[in-house]
Amino acid sequence: MLAKINKIPAGTFLVPLILSIVVYTIWPNLFMIGGMTQALFSGEGVGVITAILTFISGTAVDVKQTGRLLKRQGVLFIVKALFSLALSWIFLQLFGQHGVLGISSLAFVAVITSSNTAIYLLTARQYGDEIDTGAFGFFGILSLPLLPTFIYSFVFASGGNVDWTPVLSILIPLILGIIVGNIDRGFYKLFGPAIGGLLPILGWNLGQGLNIIEAVRAGIPGLILTLIYIIASSILVITDRMVLKNDGLYGLSLVTVAGLTTSVPALIAHSYPPLQPYVSAATAQILFAVIITCVGAPIVIAKWNDHMIKTGEKPLKAPTSDEGIN
């Protein structure tokens, strides 16, 4: 069975994700029985699994190689952050909170600022190296509602305060992992193989909370928002290939919307009540974007990688024994 799953691009992540979405759509409370079952299968484990992966990714970082890490992934992070902030500001200036084509500013800002770092980690594990894997925690900021909160609190709410605790919650396990990994490089050899085993569990947990029916209800606005996101985010692929002279796979991996983004409309509207009427539609549209990008991106990445190998643009990467994903 595992051999067949491995024939699917990113199968050990994607198959659990899709199965989990189907199960949640049919029976959303199936695993809500408390104890270990709920902790492991209900979606409540996303935070713990992500924290463990962030720590392990930190152990992969060699401080002697941080220059390369910042030069490559640092550039992509800056482009993603600044470009999405600029687009959010332009959208709000042109269309206001009501938005256009059924897409409110709440939905647009939440989606355009988001990236699913689980897809980045999947790509780094399969097509990159230890240094690339180490940027997982760094990119984790893009999975948080930090940027949309920043936009609404500073630019459109007369300079309200931003809660920096979520950022610190990512940086602490990342920094601890870096410290441990650089005290003794053997710690990455100890923890590293766990990534392959944790990714299927993460895929399942990410699928819990994603309802296909609710996503379909997003209708044409959800489709338009997703297409706008993909087209706008292509600047990351262009930057990766044309500016950084890489294969573009990491740029592609960031053209994904994090599942946590579905919570952004309610979170923002809680602080700014006038946005409450837009929450329901925005959440459905975001959910549509999450499902389409997270299911589609690994497939596109695999196809693009195969194309580059066939055309001789990229050498074949021999899989390592502990990669654990295909």
Q: Provide the domain count of the chain.
A: 1
| Percent helix / strand / coil, the chain, rounded to 5 | 75, 0, 25
Write out the residue range of the structural domain in which residue 107 sits. Answer: 9-310
Asked whether residue 319 is assigned to any structural domain, the reply reads no
Identify whether 322 is part of a domain: no
Residue 16's CATH number: 1.20.1530.20
pLDDT for the residue numbered 233: 93
pLDDT at residue 312, rounded to an integer: 77
Q: What is the pLDDT of residue 72?
A: 75
Q: Is 231 exposed, middle or buried (0-12, 13-18, 19+ CB in 10 A)?
A: exposed
- The mean pLDDT values, 10 residues at a time, for the chain of 326 residues are 75 84 90 90 84 84 75 85 92 90 92 89 81 73 77 60 68 88 89 85 85 84 95 93 88 89 80 82 89 90 89 64 38
- Maximal C-alpha separation, the chain: 56
Query: What is the C-alpha to C-alpha distance for residues 257 and 26, in angstroms, rounded to an integer?
Result: 23
In a domain, 35, yes or no: yes
The Cα 179–Cα 62 span in angstroms is 9
Query: Between the CA of residue 163 and those of 117, 159, 160, 182, 258, what are the distances in Å?
Result: 21, 13, 10, 30, 20
Examine residue 17 and state whether it is found in any structural domain, yes or no.
yes
Whole-number pLDDT of residue 225:
95
Q: What angle do CA 165, 171, 175 make, to 5 degrees?
A: 145
What's the confidence (pLDDT) of residue 179? 92
| Residue 315 counted as domain residue | no
Residue 242 belongs to a domain? yes
Q: Which two tokens stand for residue 111?
A: 């989606």
Alpha-helical (H) ranges within 184-278 are 186-191, 194-207, 212-216, 219-238, 249-253, 264-271
Q: Is residue 72 part of a domain?
A: yes
| pLDDT score, position 324 | 38
* pTM (2 d.p.): 0.78
CB under 8 Å, gap of 24 or more: what pairs does 315-321 form?
A: 317/127
* Domain-located, residue 258: yes
